[in-house]
Amino acid sequence: MTEIYDLGIAGIRSGIADGDFTAREVAETFNARVSAAKPLNAFLVETPEHALAAADATDKARAAGETLGKMAGVPIGMKDLFCTQGVETTAASGILKGFVPQYESTVSANLFQAGAGMLGKLNLDQFAMGSSNETSAFGNVISPWRRNDGGNSDLTPGGSSGGSAAVVSGRIAPAATGTDTGGSIRQPAAFTGITGFKPTYGRCSRWGTIAFASSLDQAGPMAHDVRDCAIMLEAMAGFDAKDSTSLDLPVPDWEAALNSNLAGKKIGIPKEYRVENMPAEIDALWQKGIEMLKDAGAHIVDVSLPHTKYALPAYYIIAPAEASSNLSRYDGVRYGLRDLPDGAGLQDMYAATREAGFGPEVKRRIMIGTYVLSAGYYDAYYTQAQKVRTLISQDFDKAWKSCDLLLAPTAPSAAFGLGEKMDDPLAMYLNDVFTVPSSLAGLPAMSVPAGLDGKGLPLGLQIIGKALDEQSVFNAGLAIEERAGFVAKPEQWW
Amino acid sequence: MVKMTESTYRIQGGTGEWEVVIGLEVHAQITSKSKLFSGASTEFGAEPNTQVSLVDAAMPGMLPTLNAECVRQAVRTGLAINAQINKYSRFDRKNYFYADLPQGYQISQLYHPIVGEGVIQISLDEKDPDAHGKAIGVERIHIEQDAGKLMHDQHPTMSYVDLNRCGVALMEIVSKPDMTSPKEAAAYVRKLRSILRYVGSCDGNMEQGSMRADVNVSVRKPGGELGTRTETKNVNSMRFIQAVIEYEAQRQVDLIEDGGTVVQETRLFDPDRNETRSMRSKEDAHDYRYFPDPDLLPLELEDDFIFDCKASLPELPDEKRARYKNVLGLSAYNAAVLTAEHETALWFEQLLDTSDEPEKIASSAANWVTSELFGALNRLGVGIENSPVSPAQAAELLGLVADGTISGKIAKQVFEIMLETGDGAKKIVEEQGLVQESDTGAIEKVIAEVMAANEDKVAQYRDGKDKLFGFFVGQTMKAMQGKANPQVVNELLKKILG
């Protein structure tokens, strides 16, 4: 019999509905998994009572014959970028240590409203800045996955949603929230063999989510499979008057419309994504993906996104520029860390607090962002980057004239070892090369697990869709999922 | 429009005359119940930090949402100065660190302001504004957030911060450097304040900080190249604005004539010493790193919205003044004085509204308001909105004069009693027996008595000493306790004295 902890959202939903188990049993199962998973360092805060309370509410509602919410009885992990009322929220930064919000982010509130409980707050790259979860002020998350070469070196779960990816792939949580600014949902999903979905910019409210780069940040689900992502995104998304960039549109019933028959769909293969030195295994996976989509009835077309090579440089100007301003509020005056040396004045307090509270990668991005916005450099960097962003959006618009979706690898490699890239920020930034363009254009995109590399590590394929056409992305993802038959799981070593 | 010529303001330096060039950036607090990007209240005078939302305190993850009322008020203000309304505008972040700025940036509009170029008519001549008017250009109006307030006197070693004002909506109204004297600057601020109060977009209360100005001053030889300017920040009274200009102009002239150069810098005004002091020079100036706020979408205005804003504007001071002159036939002076403040004009119009033929009573009513009422309000130290006498009561009083029931002189007496007791004019006149005597028989009788008592003077008058006529009028009026109709007295005396 399938263990409860192997179930995803849909499995838990039907198990509870059928009376196979109670929501409380589910919560207790995962609470125990969370307690036992400390070696992974995936949770910054554990909230077993929250999961139990939500479970009891679900059991009670079911007993009373009430209609259950989409996420009823599902205990999830919450990336610690979402402010949670009464639960410490730090964005994995020392500068927010001890900060307990008095408010609930819209996304977490929506999920709780839909019946989800919370197992705890998940580790991440500090302020979501990183691709390996190594910039957290509270230690790395260690991936549940290990190479099959007999070596036991610790691997990265990817980042910035590293804690989310680790717990879902390790069956420690059935699903988790993620946020994606330049690939922070998709790359860790690919590294850990799970499914991660970044919706169209504006689908999920950013209210109460700690900001990294406002024009790019989007919340999304990280779960076992496409169906779970569809269910969870329905619960997370929706118009929020408190976020001016939120889309005032109804949330479609993506789950109900799931359909892996791609007859009539045209899938574009962007030639510029065939980067130099791409590992043969990634290229082979991409070919496999093309075959799978053909098999599902899709027509494959070659497309060009000519400005792709400028996407990464533009992203690493725009995101740090916004971050440098967004992070100004962490000044030691009102909340979080305050470092006030003897006899210090206001400026000294700012300097000491920010010196002590921010990690090196955050400081690097604040400095880059400050530089590119400063007088005399603004036009050369920020304005140029915005023009590139427009050109990249136009590339996609042109591509949509000949196709409905794009297929590409999610990341240029499988998960790497912790510490392997920390000394080389540029090598680290290259992790985002396939995910950043769609972020800049605000398009929906997902990563689905599609195979293993030679060392037994998961690899993901990415599907990018038109703005607001999440449904087609889900459907193509489902087609790959059905054909890839990805069932690999990490062995439990922790 | 006649250019101002009589009041050319010049600084006399050792090397000759210097001209002063002035531009003002007026920060006007927008009248709205809640802040520009949050729902917190804007009411003045609340306990510190009681009107602070999560957004104002810049808690993690908080986002601004634009208050539509503030947009409406800015557009109405722009329309009131015939400015271009920009259908597309955008918010930018102005980044700097300070304890009164929780976000670490002020949301403002640098690149695409909501209001473009407009114009404000000023005049230095209260008696005849049209004859000595000048048009002052407005460069732009943009909307932005106010900062909080630091309090340095609450603790021996620490400063406290009050965020109540933080996030309150301001309009920054930027003039062109079109002013050339302290008086022009004061006239500009006065006129701007008047327009804002007519529109209802700012209460114009300078003491409470609802209006304050950054004063840009430079000097040059008349007609020469513009000099380097200094900017004196946050000047909060009409008098201080003039003092800053006088001080800065003189300081700059002295500096240049002593061989120095004016440095472009930000200065502060010290009202106790009546001088400005350097705050920071251009070299230490902040690099504000302006960029579009990614939390807010561009602001796009529909034609209907702008049309509704326009339709909601009241008659503005210049139109009203013209109407008072041309339609109501008021003197230029009365028209100017009565329209300078919206409250005054409203009060005056309520008074006119009591009549079926407002044009007929307009002139006498205007004279009465500008002399009698203003005098009384001045004495009592209250504004017209708190006048103890209502427009309806005033109409009753003026009606008694108009129909000859009482004389103008008695009217003054009745008005004093009205101010003291709050009673109506008719009641006072009846109770105190102040009805004017127009009965020729009664007056003739008194005249006869006066003539009998002053036979010598009658003889002198009849011998050609015309000046004595006034004496007889005075004696007759006195004998009748001022209640005689002076016109009737005059006529009868002329007839009887011959």
Our CA-based measurement puts residue A325 at a distance from the nearest CA of chain B, in whole angstroms, of 7
pLDDT-based confidence at B358, cuts 50/70/90?
Answer: confident
Q: In this structure, what token pair is assigned to residue B130?
A: 């049209």
> What are the strands of the beta sheet with B105-108, ordered from one edge?
B105-108, B92-95, B291-292
Lowest mean pLDDT among A295-299, A441-445, B298-302, B477-481: B477-481
Judge: B62–A91 Cβ closer than 8 Å, yes or no.
Answer: no
Residue A236 confidence (pLDDT) above 60 = yes
Question: What is the H or E stretch that residue A328 is in?
Answer: none
Reply yes or no on whether A184 is catalytic. yes
Tokens of B115: 């209001």
Asked if B60 is an interface residue toward chain A (Cβ–Cβ < 8 A), one would say yes
The second-level CATH assignment, the architecture, of B440-497 is Orthogonal Bundle (1.10)
Q: Are residues B117 and B140 in contact, defined by beta-carbon separation less than 8 angstroms?
A: yes
List the single best residue of A328, A334, A374 to mutate versus B (max B Cβ within 10 A): A328
pTM recorded for the entire structure: 0.91
Give the pairing type, strands B230-235 and B265-270.
parallel
Pairing of strands A266-270, A299-303: parallel
Is B65 within 8 Å of chain A by CB?
yes
At A441-479, the pLDDT tens digits run 999 999 999 999 999 999 999 999 999 999 999 999 999
pLDDT digits (tens, 9 = 90+) for B360-402: 899 999 999 999 999 999 999 999 999 999 999 999 999 998 8
Distance CA A415, CA A157 (A): 7
What percent of chain B clears pLDDT 70, i.e. is strictly above it?
98
Q: Which pLDDT belongs to residue B1?
A: 35
List, in order of start, the domains of chain A with CATH numbers.
4-263+443-484 (3.90.1300.10)
Confidence of residue A288 (pLDDT cuts 50, 70, 90): very high
pLDDT the model gives residue A1 = 61
| CB contact at 8 A, A145 and A415 | yes
Q: Which two tokens stand for residue B430?
A: 């009846």
3 state SS of A419: coil
Q: How far apart are CA B469 and CA B201, in angstroms?
A: 58
Chain B contact set for A328 (CB, 8 A)? 95, 97, 103-105
Among candidate residues A142, A195, A234, the one with its CA nearest the CA of residue A8: A195
| pLDDT at residue number B157 | 85
Residue to substitute from A78, A85, A97, A242, interface B, most B β-carbons within 10 A: A242
pLDDT tens-digit readout, A23-37: 999 999 999 999 999
Please give the average per-residue pLDDT across B175-194, as a whole number. 96
Q: What residues of chain B lie within 8 A of the CB of A385, using their CB? A: none
Measured between beta carbons, the chain B residues lying within 8 angstroms of A322 are 294
In Å, what is the CA distance from A407 to each residue of A247, A390, A392?
A: 26, 21, 17
Nearest CA in chain A to B292: A322
DSSP state of A274: S
Assess contact for A214 and A439: CB atoms under 8 A: no
- pLDDT digit string (tens) for A479-493? 999 999 999 999 999
**Is A244 in Cβ contact with B60 (below 8 Å)?**
no
Tell me the mean pLDDT in the region A18-23.
96
A91 touches chain B (CB under 8 A): yes
Q: Residue range B91-103: average pLDDT?
A: 96
**What's chain B look like in SS3?**
CCCCCCCCCEEEECCEEEEEEEEEEEEEECCCCECCCCCCECCCCCCCCCCCCCCCCCCCCCCCCCCHHHHHHHHHHHHHCCCCECCEECCEEEECCCCCCCCCEEEECCCCCCECCEEEEEECCCCCCCCCEEEEEEEEEEEEECCCEEECCCCCCCCEEECCCCCCEEEEEEECCCECCHHHHHHHHHHHHHHHHHHCCCCCCCCCCCEEEEEEEEEECCCCCCCCCEEEEEECCHHHHHHHHHHHHHHHHHHHHCCCCCCCEEEEEECCCCEEEEEEEHHHCCCCCCEECCCCCCEECCHHHHHHHHHCCCCCHHHHHHHHHHCCCCCHHHHHHHHHCHHHHHHHHHHHHCCCCHHHHHHHHHHHHHHHHHHHHHHHCCCHHHCCCCHHHHHHHHHHHHCCCCCHHHHHHHHHHHHHHCCCHHHHHHHCCCCCECCHHHHHHHHHHHHHHCHHHHHHHHCCCHHHHHHHHHHHHHHCCCCECHHHHHHHHHHHHC
Q: Which of A79, A198, A265, A421 is catalytic?
A: A79
| Residue of chain B nearest A106, judged by CA positions | B61
Q: Which residues of A touch B64 (CB under 8 A)?
A: 244
SS3 A84: strand
Lowest mean pLDDT among A292-296, B211-215, B312-316, B442-446: B442-446
More confident residue, B355 or A263: A263
Find, in chain B, the residue whose alpha carbon is nearest to that of A381.
Answer: B291
Q: What is the pLDDT of residues A67-107, one digit of tens each?
A: 999 999 999 999 999 999 999 999 999 999 999 999 999 99
Tens of pLDDT, residues A305-316: 999 999 999 999
Taking CB atoms and an 8 Å limit, are B60 and A210 in contact across chains? yes
- Any B CB within 8 A of A322 CB: yes
- What pLDDT, on a 0 to 100 scale, did the predictor assign at position B7? 57
Say if A105 is an interface residue toward chain B (CB within 8 Å). Answer: yes
| A 434-493 residues with CB < 8 A to B | none
- Using DSSP, state whether A369 is helix, strand or coil: helix
Q: Is A160 a catalytic residue?
A: yes
Catalytic residue among A108, A160, A324, A447: A160
Which residues sit opposite B215 in a β-bridge? B24, B232
Residues 83-102 of B with CB under 8 A from A: 93, 95, 97-99, 102
Give the three-class secondary structure for A252.
coil
Inter-chain CB proximity A325 and B95 less than 8 Å: yes
Residues of B in contact with A107 (CB under 8 A): none
Amino acid at B89: S
Token digits of residue A451: 């195979």
Chain A residues within 8 A of B105 when measuring between CB atoms: 325, 328
Pick the catalytic residue from A184, A205, A246, A472: A184
3-state secondary structure of A458: strand
According to the model, what pLDDT value does residue A454 have? 94
Q: Which comes out higher in pLDDT, residue B440 or A132?
A: A132
Of all residues in chain B, what percent carry a pLDDT higher than 90? Answer: 75
In chain B, the residue whose alpha carbon lies closest to the alpha carbon of A340 is: B158
How far is Cα B212 from Cα B238, in angstroms, rounded to an integer? Answer: 9
A88 part of contact set with chain B, CB < 8 Å: no
Q: What pLDDT is stored for residue A290 in this prediction?
A: 98
Hey, where are the domains in chain B?
10-309, 314-431, 440-497
CB B137 within 8 A of CB B176: yes
Determine, for residues A374 and B287 on separate chains, whether the beta-carbon distance falls below 8 Å: yes
Q: If you average pLDDT over residues B122-130, what whole number do you get? A: 85
A126–B contact, CB cutoff 8 A: no
- Give pLDDT, residue A76: 98
**Radius of gyration, CA atoms only, chain B:** 30
User: Closest by alpha carbon to B390, among B354, B336, B443, B440?
Assistant: B354
For the question of an ipTM over 0.90, the answer is yes
CA–CA min distance A284, chain B (Å): 39
Q: How many CB atoms lie within 10 A of CB A336?
A: 21
Structure tokens that stand for A394 in this block = 């136009």
Q: Is the pLDDT of residue B5 over 60?
A: no
Which one of B59, B61, B97 has the shortest CB-CB distance to A331? B97
- Residue A206 sits at the chain B interface (C-beta within 8 Å): yes
Query: Residue A413 — very low, low, confident or very high, per pLDDT cuts 50/70/90?
Result: very high
Rg (CA), chain A: 21
Decide if A79 is catalytic.
yes
d(CA B482, CA B474) in angstroms, rounded, equals 9
Name the pLDDT band for B3 (thresholds 50, 70, 90). very low
CB contact under 8 A, B294 and A101: no
Q: Does A241 touch chain B (CB under 8 A)?
A: yes
Output the pLDDT for position B6: 47
Tokens at residue A422, please? 């920390």
Amino acid making up residue A20: D
Q: How confident is the model at residue B4 (pLDDT cuts 50, 70, 90)?
A: very low
Chain B residue with minimal CA distance to A321?
Answer: B291
In the predicted model, what is the mean pLDDT of chain A?
96
Q: Which two tokens stand for residue B320?
A: 């009203």
What confidence tens digit (pLDDT) does each residue in B140-158 have? 999 999 999 999 999 988 8
Residue B123 φ then ψ, to 5°: -150, 145
- pLDDT per position as a tens digit, B318-346: 999 999 999 999 999 999 999 999 999 99
Q: Which residues of chain A does B104 touch, with a Cβ-Cβ cutoff of 8 Å?
A: 325, 327-329, 331
Q: Do A208 and B61 count as a contact with CB atoms less than 8 A apart?
A: yes
Cβ of A248 under 8 Å from any chain B Cβ?
no
CB–CB contact A206 B296 (8 Å): no
